Structure 1
Amino acid sequence: MGFTNNRIAAIDFTRGISVFFLIIVHTMLIYGTLETQTETTIGQIIIWLGRGAAMYLIAMGISFTFSRRQSFYTIIKRAFYLLFIGYSLNFVKFIIPEFIFGGLPYRFLNAYHLKTQSLETSLFFLGLGDILQLAGISLLLIAFINQISNNKWLYFLLGLSIMILSKELSGFKTNIIGLEYICHLFFSNQYNVYFPVFPWSAFIFMGVFLGKQLKEINNDTQIFFKNLALQSLGLIVLGLSLVLTNYKYHFGDYYHLGPGGSIILLGIMMLCFWIANQLVKLFNPNSPFLIL
């Protein structure tokens, strides 16, 4: 149910909703006042909606599994395309407003300790690591992983390992020119990279794992989403147990999560997929509720 023409309605729905949420969050973070973000109900709601980034990444992993374009060079091409789009959006979001439309908001620049219309500011925002940079790098990794093995458990183990190791590697960097920026993209614990590869690529890898699970049961979405709900509850309990032992280590900073935070977020997002599937079934034109 909900699987037509190699598309899963619930996955497409959640991915579309998560992209919409990301746009709202980005707009508020750049142009909204601090009071709007922290002291208003709508601001708090929007901040929490931004947590849906993980949902987009999981959906990306699931969708990738069903893509017909699985050759090494095709994946590499898609990866560089995403990177190009990511850095182009940085230019459009930050550089154009900064130099053509009177500059970025002072409060926003001050949060990064930057001055308006300076070279440092331009380079900082042009190189900002966001979700499309993460997606591009993750696809590059997938292209090489597939050369080794296409086994679903390899993706599960990679995702789990990244979640476990992310906090230990957070902030790792080298002073070697050229490699320093790469280290930031992979391990940053600052806000020059919002979605470092550790831990956020784990959500894409887990999405690939889930997509392969769905393929193995011949795309039976009824079984898939039932299992997803049960798995999500187990992950939420496990993640919450870890977070309660040491909140600062396991969660603390949403953009630079530890093991417990990553696991509980994965569980919550998987549960959201199940809820989305229930909504899709409810509002399906053939639904008995709509017929009545």
Structure 2
Amino acid sequence: MEQQSRRILALDIIKGMSVIGMIIIHTLLIYANVKSQYETAVGSFIVFLGRGTSIFMICMGFTFMTSSHQSLKSSIKRGGLLLLAAFFMNFMKFMIPVIFGFAPDNFIQKYGWHAPIEQQYVYLVQLGDILQLAGMSLLVIGFIRKYVKNKYGILAIGLFVALVSREVNGINTDVPVINYVLDLIFNNDYPAYVYFSVFPWMSFIIIGMFFGKWFQELNYDSKQLFKKMLYVGLLFVAVGAPLVFLYGDYNYNGFYHMGPGGVIYFAGWTLIFLWAIFNISSRIKENNFMKILKYCSRNLTSMYMIQWILISWGKGIFGYRQHGIPFVLLLIVLYIILTFLVQNLLDILRKKEPLFFFRRISTDETVLK
């Protein structure tokens, strides 16, 4: 079977939507004042969209399992490159504004730190975001893909990571460098805040791997796969809901550092959502909007970096958390356009295929002359 037939349009659509969604979410979080974020319908809805990180994680695990790059060496190499990309992105986000003097004063004040500002920004370069999580996880899940051949064994590992996540939280040493690595894995309150620690977030990636393995066993029958996703999703919600709502202190404890019940609950709703998107996308003919989403899916990592850097730099122009919803909506449109422009410029410079409505300009001989 050809590799192309193993791709699922619904996953490309979801990953593409996540690119657009993260620009919307990050623009709101950086530029909207607190009242606009939490006391308006638009702001509250966008903040709610930010709780969809598990969708991206499960899709990542799924595509990792079905990728043509199956070697352990490839996984470790990609993990290392993602970690380098993560620290490069943080440097561009936080240090460039300091070096060139356009970092807003009230941004650093929110952390309540009293160290010299240069040291504070060094901490921020170490901030743990999705790219650090993906890089660290790739160093682990490559071994799972190579040595665990039973899909239920893969699922068991994913659930185990969720189960012990609250118990291993806080493991640390007296060695700062080692402590930082442990913080990325277990979140032990190192000064550089870690939003997405490996425990428990790698659970979602491994659950995605479970379904990727199941997809292979079903001979790449996507319809059967998503039907099974629905059933497992309903089961996960049924198990996770009472844990979250009755024993929330242990099983949820906030979105970024949730316990086992939270992982199962969010994974359940994610699987149900994936089933719904698959059924909707299977009834829609491909159009230009779908082409845009597929383009975003192919360039997810680079567009993630581009939008964060642009949005962070913009604080020096538009300020930090000072605006209402109408102005923020204008900024969202601006940053969507800028992200696509920069990505397509990179495509042209690297001689890759740009988005379809840039293709004519980049290849037109009269324009190039």
| Structure-1-length-normalised TM-score | 0.90
Question: What residue number does 1:124 align with?
Answer: 123
CA displacement, residues 237-257 of structure 1 (integer Å, 9 cap, x when unaligned): 111011122122211310000
Q: Identity over aligned residues, as a percent?
A: 36
Any gaps of 5 or more consecutive residues in structure 2?
A: 288-369
Counterparts in 2 of 1:189 and 1:33: CA distance versus 1, 3 Å: farther
Question: What residue number does 1:290 align with?
Answer: none
TM superposition shift of 1:214: 0.8
Contact 2:6 2:220 in 1 (8 A): no
Counterparts in 2 of 1:73 and 1:88: CA distance versus 1, 3 Å: same
Alignment partners' CA distance in 1, 2:50 and 2:100 = 28
Contact 1:189 1:256 in 2 (8 A): no
Q: Name the stretch that deviates more: 171-180 or 200-209.
A: 171-180
Alignment partners' CA distance in 2, 1:100 and 1:25 = 26
TM superposition shift of 1:259: 1.0
1:109 partnered with 2:108: yes
Question: What residue number does 2:327 align with?
Answer: none
Mapping for residues 1-292 of structure 1, pairs under 5 Å = 4-100=4-100, 102-104=102-104, 106=106, 108-114=107-113, 118-188=117-187, 190=189, 192-284=193-285
Alignment partners' CA distance in 1, 2:71 and 2:269 = 32
CA displacement, residues 132-153 of structure 1 (integer Å, 9 cap, x when unaligned): 1100111100223344333322
Counterparts in 2 of 1:183 and 1:157: CA distance versus 1, 3 Å: same
Alignment partners' CA distance in 1, 2:145 and 2:281 = 32
Contact 2:82 2:134 in 1 (8 A): yes
TM superposition shift of 1:78: 0.9
TM superposition shift of 1:18: 1.9
Counterparts in 2 of 1:255 and 1:188: CA distance versus 1, 3 Å: same
Q: Which has the higher contact order (CA 8 A, sep 6+)?
A: 2
TM superposition outliers: structure 1 runs of 4+ over 4 Å: none
Counterparts in 2 of 1:278 and 1:145: CA distance versus 1, 3 Å: closer
Alignment partners' CA distance in 1, 2:280 and 2:98 = 42
RMSD after superposition: 2.1
CA displacement, residues 44-96 of structure 1 (integer Å, 9 cap, x when unaligned): 11111111111111001101111111112111111111111111111222222
| Structure-2-length-normalised TM-score | 0.72
Counterparts in 2 of 1:103 and 1:117: CA distance versus 1, 3 Å: farther
Counterparts in 2 of 1:155 and 1:104: CA distance versus 1, 3 Å: farther
Contact 1:231 1:267 in 2 (8 A): yes
Q: Name the stretch that deviates more: 73-82 or 141-150.
A: 141-150
Number of residue pairs matched?
A: 283
Any gaps of 5 or more consecutive residues in structure 1?
A: 287-292
CA displacement, residues 216-241 of structure 1 (integer Å, 9 cap, x when unaligned): 01111111111111111111111101
Counterparts in 2 of 1:49 and 1:147: CA distance versus 1, 3 Å: same
